[in-house]
Every structure is written in C-alpha cells, then in structure tokens.
C-alpha cells in the first residue's frame, strides 16, 4: 500500500468552511536527558533520576496537560522541547509532534490508512525513534518512514512488503525502528530477509539476512565484551547479526509452534532475558565473546515469569515485571497475574505481589515507575527482598493502558488508548509558573464533533461494503425521505410550502438519523446522502420554477439556490475529508448522472395533477444518484 504525503494538520472543515533495546549506544543528535527511543537512553528502560522526585506529594502529582490526539498503542519519545508519538484517527495513521510543555500540536504527518479501526486493538503499534533530527516510524501495514522532526515533512518511505518482499505478521506490523550508525534495523520476515538494514539517510536497502518469520518484537542493539550486535527475536528463534555486514553472529532456536512475541528483551551483560507469552515462562541466555564471535548458551529456562505485552526492567541484577496467569492479556483489562522480582543470573523468584497488577515498568535510579493497565501510576522501590509501594495515583480513570510511559527531565508522559497526559515529577520548589493539575487542555469543538465519529468508527468509514451501502440506502428511504414526505403531505399538503417543508424536514432527519440510528443499531449508518440529494433536487426545482415565468425575482432565487448548493457541496466535501468519510465525499459524484431524472421529477412536481408521478420519479432519481455514487465509491476504495 502506498504511503501518503506529509500534512501539517488535519483538514479542519475546509479551514472551517474555507480553508518498544538494550545496553548500547544513544541515538545521534539527542541530549543526554532526552528519551529518543521508546526504551529511553541506552534502550534499557532506565531514566536519569537527577530531576525526578519520587514519591510525589500525597495530594497527587501535578498534571501539566491532557490531550486527545488519536487511538493506538504507540510509545512516546521526547527530544528537546518536543514529544513525538503515533496515533490513529478516522483519517489514517499519523506521526504527531506536540510541544512537551504545553501539549500544543505542532504538526502531524499521515502515514497510511487506519488499521483495525473497528476492532479492540486499533493501530498503530510501533513507536517512533528520534535520531539526528529525524523521526523514524513504521505503520501497521509495514510502511517505514523517515520524517523531518522539525516540520513533519516526509523524507522517504519504504513499503517492506512491496519493496523488500517481507512476510509481515498477520495482526499488524508492530516493530519499532532501531536507528544506529546511519542504519535502520527492522525485522521483516521471509526467506533471506528475516532482518533488514536500511540507509537512514535515503531508505535504500543495505542488507537483508536470515530466513524466519517476523513477530511483534523489535530489533535491539547490545554489546558483548565490546562486540556490538543487532538481536531480533523472531517467531521461532532469536537471531544476532553484525550491524555492519548483517552476517550471523549467533542464533537461539525454540518451539516451531505459533509463538508470537511482543515484549522487549532485557540485557545486562552477560545475560539476555526474554519473557515468553502464553504461560511459556522465560529464558536467559549467557553471551560470551569468543575471538571475533559470540557464543550464546542457555543460562536457565523457567515458567516463573511469562510475559505478553508488558515489558520489564533490570535493576542491579534483578528482573522486575508482570507474570501472566491468564493465557494472554485480556482485551477488556483485569488481566490475572503477579508482579515479580526474579534474579537475572539464576531465574529464581525473590518475591511476587498482586498489588501493581498488570503493568509496564521503568526504572529511575533505585525506584520503579509503573503504569498499570487500569491506568494507575505507581512508584515503588526497586527492592529485591519485598514489594514496597511508595505512591499510587489514578492517572487514566476508567481507561485501559498498555503503553509504557516516558520519563524525561522532570516530566513523565504517558498515554491510554486515546489520551495523552504529561505529569510533572520534579522539585515543587522549581515548579515556577507551570499550570496546575486543574488546568488541562479542553477539547475544542472540532475534537468533540470528530470524537463521536472516532468512538463509532468502523471499516465503513474508509471501505464500505455493498452491504453497508445497501443498509444506508434503506435507512435514507425509511428514516428520511418517507417520513419527510409524509409530514409535508399531512401538515402542508401542497404548494411551495410543501416543497420547503419536505426539504427542511429531510435535511434535519438526514443529519440526525446518522447519530440515532448508529447508536440504536450499534453500527455506523450514514444518512447524509439523503440531504445532499434533497438540496440538489430543491435547486433543480427552483430552476424549473424560474423558467415557468422568468422574471427577475424568480431568476434571482434560482441563482441563489445554485450558489447555495455549490457552497454547501464544498463545505460537505471538506467535512467528509476532515473525517475521512470516503463514502461521504463520494456521494457527490452521483448528482450528475441523476440530473436528467431529477429535472423530470422537478417538472412533474410543479404540476398540480402529477404529484404521485413526481414522487415516483424523484424516488427513481434518488436511487440512480445513490447507486451510481456507490459504484464509484466501491471502485475507489477497493481498486
């Protein structure tokens, strides 16, 4: 699938009516206090504790801002005064850039169509990486992009499936780009392309190596007694490659069964730890250098700490992380399991506790910072003798959270599926003039309006089926046109007032029926095409009326109706573009083919003795209009 070009902001109703790594090397061009990778500096999930004060005050941490940017589970990175992440709206998958201090959106760049917008796990899943002033990202379709971090301009993109022949995992590509030494490392999957390296400057393919299926775990960079290597946890093996040549350094195979991976490997020399899903436990490899090569052997395997999507962290030779009792993470939350401390060298469990729940965890000096799937922010001591909680705060009440937060300078930035939040964790004496927890960014009117569509989103927004459109056709008839005709016939009976009553009632019913039918039926029902056609019919009717007696007043009314139709059509097109209702804008196409029948229906409507024939001809014109547009829409979205 072809990626889309950069945009510096979503279309706003026609301008409001016109207009997831390890000990290694830090990313180039970032400050020591930046969080340029989803696992932070050194890729180990450790933050610099210099400016962070834990625990926070008993009254709770200070919330700098909250903001809804879009759906997804992509992590967050911070470079300088900017926050970068990926999110999804009805308009597609985006890379977004915010001012980290205020939450103000600086730019957003569109990558691709939405992914699983009608499911419980909407994309995107991969996290961006900042390096040398650029953002490297990947969408759920396996399109990798490089974006100018300053202005959001798309510099290059590579479709792994199309350009490299990758065999992508079925639930959507979720691998975060690893950017080091002028290269971008990514799992791809397939024969002789399990892992690929791209030129970070141009996106050109530098090498591809290995034959294995990719999974959902990203490449990591680690050093074994000074020997750097890129490690990829693929579906049935772990593979280490030389970052310069792609030559194999070592491999570690396991079961040939279905075995997806979604957590980050954890490394503290000489041990490489990985927690497996589906209650299969964990293993640790002992990596030792042998001349120019590296030897990998099993240090231990154990069922002590199975993991799914919540990654752990190593502090002073101990792994802290959530161990599953459930087969996998529950989509509705409430995942069963225990948070554990396990000795890295032996796999021995030191303690377990139900208190944190299913949680992502980072380290900040001798403390742990956790974000549970229930939205609680937890601070605890990194103590290998017992779980010692220091503070807890409900950061995302009533929301499910699976994304690890980021810790940068004196701030923590985190997200639920659809909301971003920035928390101040610094010295209260240096808080200065920053906003207090009560001063959060309110939703703008456009965000409230588009939020309803986002909460009811489905594939019908961007790829409606014939069944979808048949349902919409029936809804337009039964919920809009027939009731409007009945109301005008009973209350007004005939004359120009009847036509006016029919038009106004149809437009009001058409606009409102989308809301109440969608809520009542539990699936998206689009009735706006009825309003488009009725306004079109009314304009044709005015023109026919003016031609009966072409005086100045009638001609002025006809011209005003035509101008109004043009303006409203442009506004309607802009609104549909803003919400990425492909079907919506497509319904303008059917007007021209339906013009002859509409003219005939309008002529009949002006005759006192042809009301029944006018209704039948108008219904036929609407049917031609609707299904001509439906054919165009199906061709456009399924070609």
At 331-364, the pLDDT tens digits run 767 788 899 999 999 999 999 999 998 999 999 9
Structure confidence by residue, pLDDT tens digits, 53-98: 999 988 888 888 998 888 899 999 999 999 999 999 877 899 999 9
- Model confidence at 602, pLDDT cuts 50, 70, 90, reads confident
Residue 458 has pLDDT above 70, yes or no: no
Which pLDDT band, with edges at 50, 70 and 90, does 268 fall under?
A: very high
Tokens 């730019």: give the residue: 107
Q: Which two tokens stand for residue 261?
A: 């991976």
Cα-to-chain-centroid distance, residue 376: 22
Q: Is the pLDDT of residue 308 over 90?
A: no
- Report the relative pairing of strands 359-364 and 46-47 from DSSP bridges: parallel
- 12-26, 393-407, 455-469, 575-589: which has the minimum mean pLDDT? 12-26
Let me know: does 374 contact 400? Beta carbons within 8 Å: yes
pLDDT of residue 493: 59
- Whole-number pLDDT of residue 156: 96
Confidence band, pLDDT 50/70/90 cuts, at residue 612: confident
Mean predicted confidence (pLDDT) in 141-167: 94
CB distance 459 to 119 below 8 Å: no
Q: What are phi and psi of 584, to 5 degrees?
A: -60, -55
Q: Over range 206-227, report the average pLDDT.
A: 92
What's residue 508's pLDDT?
93
Domain coordinates of the chain in residue numbers?
A: 6-426, 464-638
How is residue 507 written in tokens?
């437009």
Beta-carbon neighbour count of residue 147 at 10 Å?
Answer: 24
Antiparallel, parallel or unpaired: β 62-67 and 420-424? antiparallel
One-character DSSP codes across 560-583: HHHHHHHHHHHHHHHHHHHHT-HH
Any idea which of 252-266, 445-459, 582-596 has the lowest mean pLDDT? Answer: 445-459
Mean pLDDT score, 357-375:
94
What is the C-alpha separation between 523 and 521, in angstroms, rounded? 6
pLDDT at 554 (0 to 100)? 83
Q: How confident is the model at residue 360, as a pLDDT? A: 93
Above 60 in pLDDT, residue 439?
Answer: no
Predicted pLDDT of residue 605 = 83
Residue-level pLDDT at 20? 33
Closest residue by Cα to residue 539 from 560, 516, 519, 510: 560
DSSP 184-222: EEEE--BTT-SEEEEETTT--EEEEE--B---SPPPEEE
Q: In 8-153, which ranges are E strands?
A: 46-47, 62-67, 77-79, 82-89, 92-99, 105-112, 129-131, 134-138, 143-148
Residue 433 in this model has a pLDDT that exceeds 80: no
Residue 594 has pLDDT above 60, yes or no: yes
Identify the band that residue 383 occupies on the pLDDT scale cut at 50, 70 and 90.
very high
pLDDT tier at 162, thresholds 50, 70, 90:
very high
Identify the residue with better confidence: 60 or 18: 60
- Best CA proximity match to 37, nearest among 145, 132, 131, 155: 131
- Can you tell me the mean pLDDT for 299-312? 90
Provide mean pLDDT across the span 297-321: 92
- pLDDT tens digit string along 528-560? 999 999 999 999 989 888 888 888 888 898 899
- What CA–CA distance (Å, rounded) separates 603 from 192? 69
Structure token pair of residue 460 = 């019908």
Model confidence pLDDT, tens digit, residues 582-591: 667 788 999 9
Nearest partner of 149 among 213, 196, 85, 101, judged by Cα:
85
What angle separates helix 552-579 from helix 528-548, to the nearest 10 degrees? 170
* Among the four given CATH numbers 2.40.128.50, 3.40.50.720, 3.40.30.10, 2.130.10.10, the one describing domain 6-426: 2.130.10.10
Give 383's DSSP letter.
-
Most confident of 192-196, 485-489, 520-524: 192-196
467 membership: H or E segment, kind and range: helix 466-476
Q: What is the mean pLDDT of residues 404-417?
A: 92
H-type alpha helices, 255-303: none
Residue 287 above 90 pLDDT? yes
* pLDDT band at residue 26 using 50, 70 and 90 as cut-offs: very low
Sign of the Cα torsion 608, 611, 612, 618 reads: positive
DSSP 430: G
State how far the Cα of 296 lies from the Cα of 274, in Å rounded to an integer: 14
- Mean pLDDT, the chain, rounded, equals 84
Alpha carbon distance 94, 87 (integer Å): 5
Pairing mode, if any, of strands 129-131 and 105-112? unpaired
Residue 95 is predicted with a pLDDT of: 96
- The Cα 205–Cα 186 span in angstroms is 11
Distance of CA 136 to the CA centre of its chain: 16
* Structure-block tokens of residue 551: 């005086």
Alpha-carbon distance values, 585 to 578, 604, 624, 638 (Å): 10, 29, 17, 16
């Amino acid at each position: 699938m072809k990626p889309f070009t950069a945009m510096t902001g979503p279309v706003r109703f026609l301008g409001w009516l016109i207009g997831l790594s390890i000990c290694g090397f830090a990313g180039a061009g970032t400050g020591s206090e930046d969080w340029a990778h989803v696992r932070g500096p050194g890729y180990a999930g450790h933050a610099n504790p210099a400016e962070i004060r834990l625990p926070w005050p008993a009254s709770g941490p200070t919330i700098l801002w909250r903001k809804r940017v879009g759906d997804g589970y992509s992590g967050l990175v911070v470079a300088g005064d900017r926050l970068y992440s990926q999110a999804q709206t009805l308009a597609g998958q985006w890379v977004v850039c915010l001012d980290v201090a205020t939450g103000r959106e600086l730019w957003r760049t569109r990558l691709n169509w939405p992914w699983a917008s009608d499911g419980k796990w909407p994309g995107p899943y991969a996290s961006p990486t900042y390096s040398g002033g650029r953002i490297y990202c990947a969408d759920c379709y396996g399109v990798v992009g490089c974006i100018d971090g300053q202005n959001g301009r798309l510099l290059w993109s590579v479709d792994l499936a199309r350009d490299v022949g990758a065999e992508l995992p079925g639930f959507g590509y979720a691998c975060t780009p690893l950017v080091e030494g002028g290269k971008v490392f990514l799992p791809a999957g397939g024969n002789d392309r399990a892992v690929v390296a791209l030129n970070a400057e141009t996106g050109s393919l530098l090498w591809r190596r290995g034959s294995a299926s990719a999974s959902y775990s990203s490449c990591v960079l680690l050093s074994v007694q000074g020997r750097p290597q890129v490690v990829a946890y693929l579906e049935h093996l772990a593979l280490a490659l030389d970052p310069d040549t792609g030559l194999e350094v070592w491999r570690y195979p396991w079961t040939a069964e279905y075995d997806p991976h979604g957590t980050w490997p954890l490394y503290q020399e000489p041990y490489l730890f990985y927690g497996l899903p589906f209650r299969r436990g964990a293993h640790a490899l002992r990596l030792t250098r042998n001349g120019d090569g590296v030897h990998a052997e099993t240090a231990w395997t154990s069922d002590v700490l199975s993991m799914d999507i919540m990654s752990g962290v190593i502090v002073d030779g101990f792994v802290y992380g959530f161990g599953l009792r459930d087969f996998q993470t529950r989509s509705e939350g409430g995942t069963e399991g225990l948070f554990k401390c396990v000795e890295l060298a032996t796999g021995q469990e030191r303690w377990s506790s139900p208190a944190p729940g299913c949680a992502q965890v980072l380290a900040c000096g001798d403390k742990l910072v956790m974000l549970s799937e229930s939205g609680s922010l937890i601070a605890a001591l990194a103590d290998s003798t017992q779980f010692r909680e220091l503070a807890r705060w409900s950061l995302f009440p009533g929301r499910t959270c699976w994304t690890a937060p980021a810790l940068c300078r004196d701030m923590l930035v985190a997200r639920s599926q659809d909301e971003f939040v920035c928390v101040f964790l610094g010295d209260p004496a240096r808080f200065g003039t920053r906003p207090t927890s009560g001063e959060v960014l309110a939703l703008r009117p456009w965000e409230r309006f588009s939020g309803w569509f986002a909460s009811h989103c489905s594939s019908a927004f961007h790829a409606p089926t014939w069944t979808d459109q048949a349902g919409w056709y029936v809804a337009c008839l039964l919920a809009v046109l027939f009731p409007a005709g009945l109301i005008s016939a009973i209350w007004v009976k005939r004359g120009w007032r009847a036509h006016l009553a029919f038009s106004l009632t149809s437009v009001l019913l058409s606009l409102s029926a989308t809301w109440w039918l969608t809520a009542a039926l539990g699936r998206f029902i689009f009735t706006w095409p009825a309003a488009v056609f009725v306004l079109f019919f009314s304009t044709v009717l005015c023109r026919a009326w003016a031609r009966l007696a072409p005086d100045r007043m009638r001609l002025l009314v006809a011209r005003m109706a035509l101008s109004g139709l043009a303006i409203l059509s442009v506004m309607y097109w802009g609104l549909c573009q803003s919400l990425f209702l492909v079907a919506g804008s497509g319904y303008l196409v059917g007007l021209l083919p339906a013009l002859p029948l509409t003219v005939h229906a309008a002529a009949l409507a002006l005759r006192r003795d042809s009301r029944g024939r006018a209704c039948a001809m108008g219904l036929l014109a609407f049917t031609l209009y609707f299904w001509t547009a439906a054919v165009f829409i199906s061709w456009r979205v399924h070609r």
